[in-house]
A = this chain, B = another copy of it.
Amino acid sequence: MKLKLKTVFVLYFMVSLLGLIYALMQLGKWSAQSGRGKLEVTKQPQKQPAKPSLSTIFVITPTYARLVQKAELTRLAQTFLHVPHLHWIVVEDSPHKTPLVTDLLLKSGLTYTHLHIPTAMDRKLQEGDPSWLKPRGVEQRNEGLRWLREDRRAQPGGDDQQGVVYFADDDNTYSLQLFEEMRSTQRVSVWPVGLVGGMKYERPVVEGGKVVRFHTGWRPSRPFPMDMAGFAVSLKLVLSNPEACFDGEAPMGFLESSFLQGLVTMEELEPKADNCSKVLVWHTRTEKPKMKREEALQAQGLGSDPAVEV
CB under 8 Å from chain B, chain A span 253-280? 277-279
Assess whether A147 is interfacial by the CB under 8 Å rule: no
- Asked if A201 and B308 make an inter-chain contact with CB atoms under 8 angstroms apart, the answer reads yes
Assess whether A5 is interfacial by the CB under 8 Å rule: yes
- Asked if A287 and B287 make an inter-chain contact with CB atoms under 8 angstroms apart, the answer reads yes
B27, B45, B173: which contacts A75 (Cβ < 8 A)? B173
Nearest Cβ in chain B — how far from A39, in angstroms? Answer: 10
Assess whether A221 is interfacial by the CB under 8 Å rule: no
* Distance in angstroms between the alpha carbons of A2 and B198 in the assembled complex: 103
Q: Which residues of chain B are near A192, meaning CB under 8 Å? A: 308
Q: Which residues of chain B are near A286, meaning CB under 8 Å? A: 284-287
Assess whether A88 is interfacial by the CB under 8 Å rule: no
Q: Which residues of chain B are near A33, meaning CB under 8 Å? A: 34, 37
- Asked if A78 and B68 make an inter-chain contact with CB atoms under 8 angstroms apart, the answer reads no
Q: Which residues of chain B are near A71, meaning CB under 8 Å? A: 173, 194-195, 282, 284
B16, B49, B75, B199: which contacts A44 (Cβ < 8 A)? B49
Among all A-B residue pairs, the 10 with the closest Cβ atoms:
A217-B293, A198-B293, A37-B37, A71-B282, A71-B173, A200-B304, A195-B289, A285-B287, A198-B292, A194-B310
Name 14 interchain pairs, CB-CB below 8 A, sorted by A: A30-B34, A33-B37, A34-B34, A37-B37, A70-B194, A71-B282, A78-B82, A195-B289, A198-B291, A201-B308, A217-B293, A278-B308, A282-B310, A285-B289
Chain A interface residues toward B at CB < 8 A: 1-2, 5-6, 8-9, 12-13, 16, 19-20, 23, 26-27, 30, 33-34, 37, 40-41, 44-45, 47-49, 67-68, 70-72, 74-75, 78-79, 81-82, 173-176, 192, 194-195, 197-201, 215, 217-218, 277-279, 282-287, 289-294, 296-297, 303-304, 308-310
